[in-house]
Amino acid sequence: MERVVLRNIGLLLSGDLHRPILDADTVLVVNGKIAAVGREKDIHCEGAELVVDAKGTCLMPGLIDSHVHPVAGDWTPRQNQIGWIDSYLHGGVTTMVSAGEVHTPGRPKDVVGLKAMAVFAQRAFSAFRPGNVRIHAGAPVIEHGMVEEDFKDLAAAGVTMLGEVGLGSVKDGATAHTMVGWARKYGLQSTIHTGGPSIPGSSLIDKDIVLAADADVIGHINGGHTALPDEQIVELCEKSPRALEIVHNGNERAGLLALRTAGELGKLGQVILGTDSPAGSGVQPLGILRMISMLASLGEIPAEVAVCFATGNTARIRKLDGGLIEVGRAGTFVLIDRAQHSSGKTVLESIERGDLPGIGMVMIDGMVSAGRSRNTPPAGVVAEVVS
Ligand SMILES: [Zn+2]
């Protein structure tokens, strides 16, 4: 599709924390990228191959799950489920970031093996996009014995990030700091596991290790599931300039504490969201929507701001293409409306009351990936392809 027009948008959420609502009703996408955002009368809409009538519903950027654990294809051995990525698409997730392919049966822990697996996962998920969902994978879990040259090799082979530090044998702050530094030197992003062990075999990573490691993302600051004591979470928010990631499969109370603390410190720009799934607690197709709703309702954050945590913030911090409604970005959108029979009068009010929005359509790179979601409560009004 060369030219795509989305018109009659009732509410446009930008994903940008500084201006979360845009005064616009039309978006033009050319060759998969946003080419114009504004009022229909001001945009050159002729010659479009695809026209979507939003019917007055709400458009927001495609959601980004900052913390997934893919393995191979659309299968997770952790719960022996297939089709989980396609299910998340029906929860509005259009981009996923791997925090390590850690559930791979027989995952290699020797240096040659873990590097080979990272390169394999990066290649395989670059080429495999169920429902067009983009999966950034190939995230090796660091182990003792790795040297600087290994990080250089990984970068040269196309690997762009590390899996959760702490899930391998490196669990001390000094070694983690050294290896995270090597990763950063060669352009690899890093994430650290935070809190108690998630499954047998993983272990406690406390605030001292997290601060010493200084990874780019404080992975699940609210625990995965077991959270650090409150004072340690507060200290991490106060002292770290890095991303503060809150996950679905973490401790909800700790997540709300992290959100409140980040807000008080003026650090909402550092808050990003993930599911930390598939995991012991399963597969959560609506996990990111549930986080937005939970943080907006119990955290008393405007819904349009909570959306930014799972879109613009993550895109900026992780240097991704989508996540914002602005010219030049990917034409990747979710069209939502207040769910049928929500007590909220508008879609934003419904989210602030703790309800989930209904998804009417998902578009990725200017193409329709899903119509009315099979997983969310039904949207009151659903966008429609009109030509
Ligand atoms: Zn973890």
Ligand 1 center–CA 164 separation, angstroms:
6
Please state, for a pLDDT cut of 90, what percent of the chain lies above it: 97
Ligand 1 center–CA 172 separation, angstroms:
15
For residues 40 and 199, the model is more confident at 40
Ligand 1 center–CA 246 separation, angstroms:
11
C-alpha distances (whole Å) from 27 to each of 45, 268, 384 are: 9, 27, 15
| Average confidence (pLDDT) over 126-136 | 97
Backbone angles phi, psi at 307, to 5 degrees: -60, -35
Ligand 1 center–CA 338 separation, angstroms:
33
Residue 23: the pLDDT is 98
What are the pLDDT digits (tens) for 61-111? 999 999 999 999 999 999 999 999 999 999 999 999 999 999 999 999 999
Ligand 1 center–CA 59 separation, angstroms:
32
Cβ contact 226:196 at 8 Å: yes
Residue 199 has pLDDT above 90, yes or no: no
Residue 1 has pLDDT above 80, yes or no: no
Ligand 1 center–CA 78 separation, angstroms:
14
Ligand 1 center–CA 194 separation, angstroms:
6
Ligand 1 center–CA 140 separation, angstroms:
13
| Average confidence (pLDDT) over 134-146 | 98
- The sign one gets for the Cα dihedral 58, 17, 344, 93 is positive
Cβ contact 273:309 at 8 Å: yes
Residue 202 has pLDDT above 90, yes or no: no
Residue 198: the pLDDT is 82
Ligand 1 center–CA 263 separation, angstroms:
24
Cβ contact 324:61 at 8 Å: yes
Residue 127: the pLDDT is 97
Ligand 1 center–CA 266 separation, angstroms:
26
Ligand 1 center–CA 104 separation, angstroms:
15
CA atoms within 13 A on the CB side of 24: 21
User: Measuring CA to CA, which residue among 68, 128, 89 is closest to residue 272?
Assistant: 68
Ligand 1 center–CA 40 separation, angstroms:
45
- The sign one gets for the Cα dihedral 369, 374, 379, 383 is positive
What are the pLDDT digits (tens) for 239-270? 999 999 999 999 999 999 999 999 999 999 99
Tell how far CA 164 is from the center of its chain: 15
Ligand 1 center–CA 193 separation, angstroms:
4
Ligand 1 center–CA 225 separation, angstroms:
8
Residue by residue, what is the 3-state secondary structure of the chain?
CCEEEEECCCEEECCCCCCCEECCCEEEEECCEEEEEECHHHCCCCCCCEEEECCCCEEEECEEEEEECCCECCEECCCCEECHHHHHHCCCEEEEEECCCCCCCCCCCCHHHHHHHHHHHHHHHHHCCHHHCEEECCCCCCCCCCCHHHHHHHHHCCCCEEEEECCCCCCCHHHHHHHHHHHHHCCCEEEECCECCCCECECCECHHHHHHHCCCEECCCCCCCCCCCHHHHHHHHHHCCCEEEEECCCCHHHHHHHHHHHHHCCCHHHEEEECCECECCECCCCHHHHHHHHHHHHCCCCHHHHHHHCCHHHHHHHCCCCCCCCCCCECCEEEEECECCCCCCCHHHHHHCCCCCEEEEEEECCEEEECCCCCCCCECCCCEECC
Q: How confident is the model at residue 200 (pLDDT cuts 50, 70, 90)?
A: confident
Ligand 1 center–CA 331 separation, angstroms:
31
Residue 230 has pLDDT above 80, yes or no: yes
Residue 354: the pLDDT is 98
Residue 34, token pair as written in the block: 């946003």
Residue 314 has pLDDT above 90, yes or no: yes
Residue 220: the pLDDT is 98
Residue 18: the pLDDT is 97
User: Measuring CA to CA, which residue among 355, 164, 193, 367 is closest to residue 380?
Assistant: 355
Residue 25: the pLDDT is 98
Ligand 1 center–CA 321 separation, angstroms:
25
Ligand 1 center–CA 300 separation, angstroms:
27
